[in-house]
Amino acid sequence: MKHALIKAAAFAPMLAGALLASTSPVLAKTAAKTAYDGVWLFDDTPPTPGVTMMEVTSKGGKIAGSVTTKWYGPIEMMNPHVEGGVLKFEARNLNDRDHLTRQWSVAIESGRAHLKGQIWESEVDSTGRPGTAKDAKARAFKFTALPPLGAPIPSKLAATPPMGWSSWNKFADHIDDKTVRAMADALVSSGLRDAGYIYINIDDGWQGERDAKGVLQPNAKFPDMKALTAYVHSKGLKIGIYSSQGPKTCAGYIGSYGHVKQDADTYADWGFDYLKYDLCSGEWFYADADTVKRSYYEMGKALQEAGKRTGRDIVFSLCEYGRFDVGSWGRDVGGVLWRTTGDITDDYPTMAKIGFDKNGNPAWAGPHGWNDPDMLEIGNGGMSADEYRTHMSLWAMSAAPLMMGHDLREMSPETLAMLTNRRVIAVDQDALGVQGKPVRKAGSLEVWAKPLSDGRVALALFNRGDSAAPLALTPADAGLASVDGVEDLWSGAKAGALPAGYQVPARGVVMVAVRGTK
C-alpha cells in the first residue's frame, strides 16, 4: 500500500489540478470514524473499469479515499463529503471535455458499500464487502515508473507504407488461430500478397493470462503462437500482433503495463514482425505529451533490442488516435506509422471525415514514417462501390498504410479488383513517399495532387456531395503549364490531353496521373 502511494505521488504532476489537492488514502489503523472508513472489496463488478477495492479513511473529520480499478489503478476521491447519509465525491473522468470529473457516491446498506459512479463509457453500480489491511495490500495496484526519453531511435523499416490485413474491422476480438491461417491462405490464393499486401496482423483479443514469471500467454484460441508465425512466414508473409501500454487493452484484455520489455521479448521470440501499440487504458496514466511519448519510446526501444537479439525487424505501429501531434515525434520513438484519428467504421460519413479531414499533417509523412488514418473497410459491405473507391483513392493519395479489414475468403470480384488495382496501389506505394493534399476546393468537390517518382502527378477529383457533379481538371492543378499525357488510374485508359471535363459520381472519385511541362 505504502509503495503504491509513493508511486501515485510520482504521477501527480500530470493529473488535473483538483486532483492534486486531494489527499491520498491512508488505511485507518484506529477505529473507523465514519461508516465508510475501511477497506471494501468488490469481487463481482463489471470488467470495465473493473473495481476491485475502495479504501476510505477519515482523520479529524476529513475524509480521504480511492477506488482501485483494473483499468486505471486507484481513482482518487476528490472533495469527499457526506451529504444526506451518502458519501459523495468527484473522480477524474476521461475523453469528455464537458465532464472533466464525474460525481460518485457510496451508501452503506446492511454493512456493505454500495458504490455508484461513471468513468468515460463505464457505469459503476456495485456492492463491496468489508476487507482487511491484508486484503488491501493484496489488491493494491502496482505502479511502474516510465523510463526517461533517450536518444531518438528512428526505424529504417517501411520505405513505403505498410500493406496487409488486420483482424479488427471484421472480426473484432472473435479471432483465432484457424481464421488467421485461413486469411494467410486467402491472401496468397487471391493474389493480394503479390499485389503487395504482406502483413497479417492479429489485433486485440489474442491475450490470455500471465504465468508465474509474468510472461503473457495467448488465450485458448491461439494454442501455439510460434507455430502460427512459422505458418504465416511459410506463405511468404509477415505477421503482426497487438498490445497496449495500459493495464488493459481497448477490448479489456491484458496490456503491457509493468511488462513492456518482457512482452517485446515474447513477441520477438514467437516470431512476430509487427506490433500495433494502442494507448487504451494507458491514457489514464499517460495523459500528456511527455508521458505518452515516453510510453511509446519504452516499447519502441524494447522492440528494437528484441529485434536485434532475434534477428527480426519489428515494425512499430503507434495508435494513440493522433494526440499531441504524434507525427512530429513518431519516428523518434521508433514508430513507422501512427494513427491520426479515432476508429474508422464501415460507413461513408465516418470514412470521409477521417480520409478527408483527419489523415494527418503531410509534413510528417515520408519513407519510414507514415500517417495512418486507420484500416480499410473495403469489402465489409457498408458502403457503395463509389464510396469504397473514394476510400481506396483517398488512402492512396494520402500515402496511407493499406491494411484491409474484411473477410478475405468472401470477396466479390469487384472488391478484389478495387484492392488490387496496380495503378492505384502504385500511387500509394510511390517511392517519393509524398502525402498528397487538396489543391483546390469548389463546393463539394475537391482536387488533390500527389507528385510521383516518375515525374508524373497523381490527381484525384473527389465529389463529397450527394449528386453527380461536373468538374474540369487543369494543368495548374498538377503545378504544370501544360499536360501532354493522362492516364485514368482506375480504368487504365490513356489520352494525350485532359478532357473538357469529368462527371464525378456522388460520393465518388476520378483519379488520373498526368504528365506535362512546368
Residue range at the interface with ligand GLA (CB under 6 A); choices 184-192, 231-239, 245-253, 410-418: 245-253
Closest CA to 107 of 74, 76, 83, 136: 83
C-alpha cell of residue 154: 528512428
CB of 244 vs ligand GLA, minimal distance in Å:
8
Q: What is the DSSP letter of 161?
A: -
**Residue with smaller CB distance to ligand GLA, 115 or 336:** 336
241, 250, 449, 510: residue in contact with ligand GLA (rule CB under 6 A):
250
Closest CA to 278 of 368, 338, 331: 338
243, 249, 281, 295: residue in contact with ligand GLA (rule CB under 6 A):
249
Inter-CA distances, 256 with 52, 56, 383, 467, 511, Å: 19, 29, 36, 48, 43
The SS3 assignment for 141 reads coil
176, 203, 283, 377: residue in contact with ligand GLA (rule CB under 6 A):
203
CB of 242 vs ligand GLA, minimal distance in Å:
6
Residue range at the interface with ligand GLA (CB under 6 A); choices 18-26, 34-42, 244-252, 432-440: 244-252
The backbone torsions φ and ψ at residue 182, rounded to the nearest 5 degrees and listed phi first, read -65, -35
CB 366 within 8 A of CB 398: no
Cα separation, 372 vs 378, whole angstroms = 16
CB of 278 vs ligand GLA, minimal distance in Å:
5
Element containing residue 82 per DSSP (H, E)? strand 78-83
CB of 162 vs ligand GLA, minimal distance in Å:
15
Out of 263, 278, 374, 428, the active site residue is 278
Residue range at the interface with ligand GLA (CB under 6 A); choices 248-256, 379-387, 389-397, 451-459: 248-256
CB of 250 vs ligand GLA, minimal distance in Å:
3
State CA 262 to chain mean position distance.
21
CB of 169 vs ligand GLA, minimal distance in Å:
8
CB 159 within 8 A of CB 388: no
How many alpha carbons fall within 13 Å on the CB side of residue 372?
32
251, 289, 445, 495: residue in contact with ligand GLA (rule CB under 6 A):
251
Q: Count the site residues for ligand GLA by CB under 6 A.
A: 9
CB-count burial class (<10 Å; 0-12, 13-18, 19+) for 206 = buried
Q: What is the DSSP letter of 366?
A: B
Touching ligand GLA, residues 145-174 (CB under 6 A): 168
CB of 318 vs ligand GLA, minimal distance in Å:
11
Check residue 416 for interaction with ligand GLA (CB under 6 A).
Answer: no
Cα separation, 198 vs 429, whole angstroms = 13
Indicate the residue whose CB is closest to ligand GLA.
Answer: 250
Residue range at the interface with ligand GLA (CB under 6 A); choices 63-71, 246-254, 379-387, 495-503: 246-254
CB of 466 vs ligand GLA, minimal distance in Å:
29
**Residue with smaller CB distance to ligand GLA, 182 or 251:** 251
**Residue with smaller CB distance to ligand GLA, 336 or 457:** 336
**Residue with smaller CB distance to ligand GLA, 56 or 241:** 241
Closest CA to 166 of 296, 47, 319: 319
76, 278, 372, 428: residue in contact with ligand GLA (rule CB under 6 A):
278
Out of 269, 290, 313, 343, the active site residue is 343
Touching ligand GLA, residues 310-329 (CB under 6 A): 319
**Cell match 501532354: residue?**
484
**Residue with smaller CB distance to ligand GLA, 52 or 249:** 249
DSSP 443-491: TTEEEEEEE-TTS-EEEEEEE-SSS-EEE---GGGGT-SEEEEEEETTT
484 classed as catalytic? no
Check residue 267 for interaction with ligand GLA (CB under 6 A).
Answer: no
CB 507 within 8 A of CB 499: no
**Residue with smaller CB distance to ligand GLA, 66 or 295:** 295
**Residue with smaller CB distance to ligand GLA, 205 or 307:** 205
Cα separation, 24 vs 488, whole angstroms = 65
Cα separation, 199 vs 182, whole angstroms = 14
**Cell match 493534399: residue?**
437
CB of 280 vs ligand GLA, minimal distance in Å:
6
Q: Which residues of 83-92 are buried (b: 16+ CB within 10 A; e: fewer)?
A: eeeebbbbbb
CB 11 within 8 A of CB 288: no
343 classed as catalytic? yes
Q: Which residues of 364-373 are buried (b: 16+ CB within 10 A; e: fewer)?
A: bbbbbbbbbb
**Residue with smaller CB distance to ligand GLA, 406 or 456:** 406
Q: Which residues of 108-134 are buried (b: 16+ CB within 10 A; e: fewer)?
A: eeeeebbbebbbbebebebbbeebeee
Check residue 204 for interaction with ligand GLA (CB under 6 A).
Answer: yes
Q: Compose the 331-350 pattern: x for residues touching ligand GLA by CB under 6 A, - for all others.
A: ------------x-------
Residue range at the interface with ligand GLA (CB under 6 A); choices 112-120, 228-236, 249-257, 348-356: 249-257
Contacts with ligand GLA by CB under 6 A lie at: 168, 203-204, 249-251, 278, 319, 343
Query: Annotated catalytic sites, by residue?
Result: 278, 343
